[in-house]
Structure 1
Amino acid sequence: MSKADSSNYKSKKKYFLKKGANRRTLDVNLKGFLCSCNSREKDCIKESYNLLNEYADKLYPAVLNPSDNETDEQDISESLSKEISGLKGTGPSSERRFQVIESGAKNFLFIRTSLENPAELAEAIIKDIHDSGSQKTRFLLRLIPVEITCRATPDEIGKAFLKISEKHFKDSPQTFCVIFNHRNNNVVSRDEIIKLIADKVNETRSDHKVNLKGAKLSIIVEVIKGFAFLSVVPDYLKYKKYNLLSVCSQEVSSDK
């Protein structure tokens, strides 16, 4: 192969790799889990898949695809070899239940899910760890459910929140708080977003109350680069902001 042909081949190879990778990057209207770790991203991916699959199998046995058990090891192996570049679907018309995607921040992974209610699964995991007092992970530190993703602008965050707010705040008065974090983004204002979200909660019902220390519902807004990850999480403060290591500590277990 000549140098010119070799150069042309390498350029095409890079193009196709980039094109394929785009299918596994962040987008709007995704559901999933933000997973934090401490540098050991490959180990975090493996633990996240194992934990999510274990509890999803228990919580949603009817939606388990027949091929899931056969391909879990392959999925984990592929994800480790590709680090956090994601996995392809297992069939032409279905998605994997869990698919790792780069979040845009170091030590933060986003695992996309095809499940309808990621907050329900995360709550089941955190409650079981709390009640049993058993440590389930070493490298996966925090598991934050994500009900919807959107572009990181106040207008888009407000619109995305409205899509998930009614099921949490319409039927009865709640105590709530807004938890805002940002990484690799200094454009979105914390105060602006908190006021925006609080105003929309009160537009749903006027009898909701803010409680910064013991809110029943926590509205999570995580901004990473150009995307925002939103969810409404029950007992988020009670369960140590869904820190999997802290919630199974002796101190927490003794509160039962």
Structure 2
Amino acid sequence: MSKRPPPPASREAKKRQYIQGATARPRDGTLTAGMRGVLISCDVHLERDAIKESLRLFESLVDDERPPTPPPATAGGSTTAGDALAREIDALKQTGGATRRPPFSVAQTGCGGNVLIRFDGGAPDPLALVQRVMEGALASRGLDAPHVIRMIPVQTTCAATPQAVGAALRPLVGGAMRGAEGTYAVQWRRRCNTDVEKAAMIDAAAGVVAELAPKSKVDLSAPGTAVLTEVIKTICCVSVLPHWGRYHHYNLRALTEAVAASARPDPPLQSKGSAVQGGTPDVEGTEVAPETLKQATATVAS
């Protein structure tokens, strides 16, 4: 007795078979309180390219900082394969596994064109790493990150409330600005949130600076340090960022364009007047003195 053929698949099942992303796939983490990293901004729908460029750039900088692995020392003239393998394992243990990739991950913000590159565990300080990126751009070294616009170090994240922002800023301001006499400004940005009051957040940040760095002065036009409070949905990214003007507000694209423009030579000036007063231009545009013109006319007449 022959078996019946299976029933044809429904139209919905066929669609699910070919629609990209219909199957469940692992997703990146989301932005929450207690994170640190670098907030990347880019053009909408180009987040994937910006993430790849940022990760490649960060990993190359971290690799440059790692000390070279010392060659395995030969003890007692033993050259067997087992001894060489044992020495190599010991060297890896001593360097702490230097060949491992730095613990970077992606935290989605839910706001188009904004992604947090999260620095986990033993990752370096995000502020120090971004400063190396900016200094490299100032030194006219080519940075292969054309899709990245802004690269903001995020020292911590907290709930988007004035109380939480003040508590998160206190250790940061105390470590970077205590006793300082420079200038600062509270930089406020808000995305995908209409509930948080701008004045309350700025007052909370400015109150911490006034308490811990009373000699610092507010300069809204050209501050030396920026106290950043960037709200994305219900989370606030908090940082104390030096060299705010030098790094073009940590806008990597603007900084790169400014450096390229300053390195471009000025165009040569076009001469509008004649080189000799009363001269007559010849066919190629050069000037012919009147005496030369008279001699040529006399020669033709003779």
1:99 equivalenced with 2:132 (yes/no): no
1:42 equivalenced with 2:75 (yes/no): no
List aligned pairs for 1:57-206, cutoff 5 A.
Answer: 57-59=63-65, 65-68=98-101, 96-114=102-120, 115-132=123-140, 134-206=142-214
Note the C-alpha offset of 1:184.
0.4
Work out the percentage of aligned pairs sharing the same amino acid.
28
Amino acid at match of 2:48: K
Once residues 162 and 60 of structure 1 are traced to their aligned partners in structure 2, the CA distance between those partners, rounded to angstroms, is 32
Flag structure 1 segments of 5+ consecutive residues without an equivalent: 1-16, 69-95
Range with bigger deviation, 245-254 or 152-161: 245-254
TM-score (norm 1): 0.75
Amino acid at match of 1:107: G
Note the C-alpha offset of 1:188.
1.2
Deviations 1:202-246 (A, max 9, x none): 100311111112211111111000100011111122211111111
- Counterpart of 1:238 in structure 2 is 246
Where in structure 1 do 4 or more consecutive aligned residues deviate above 6 Å? none
Cα distance change, pair 165–254 in 1 and its aligned pair in 2 (3 A) = same
- Counterpart of 1:27 in structure 2 is 32
Amino acid at match of 1:37: C
SS at match of 1:132: coil
RMSD after superposition: 2.8
Larger radius of gyration: 2
The higher-RCO structure (CA 8 Å, 6+ apart) is: 1
Amino acid at match of 1:189: E
Provide the aligned length of Structure 1 versus Structure 2.
215
Once residues 184 and 235 of structure 1 are traced to their aligned partners in structure 2, the CA distance between those partners, rounded to angstroms, is 28
TM-score (norm 2): 0.64
Flag structure 2 segments of 5+ consecutive residues without an equivalent: 1-23, 68-94, 264-302
Note the C-alpha offset of 1:24.
2.1
Cα distance change, pair 49–197 in 1 and its aligned pair in 2 (3 A) = same
Cα distance change, pair 240–250 in 1 and its aligned pair in 2 (3 A) = closer
Note the C-alpha offset of 1:64.
7.5
- Counterpart of 2:281 in structure 1 is none
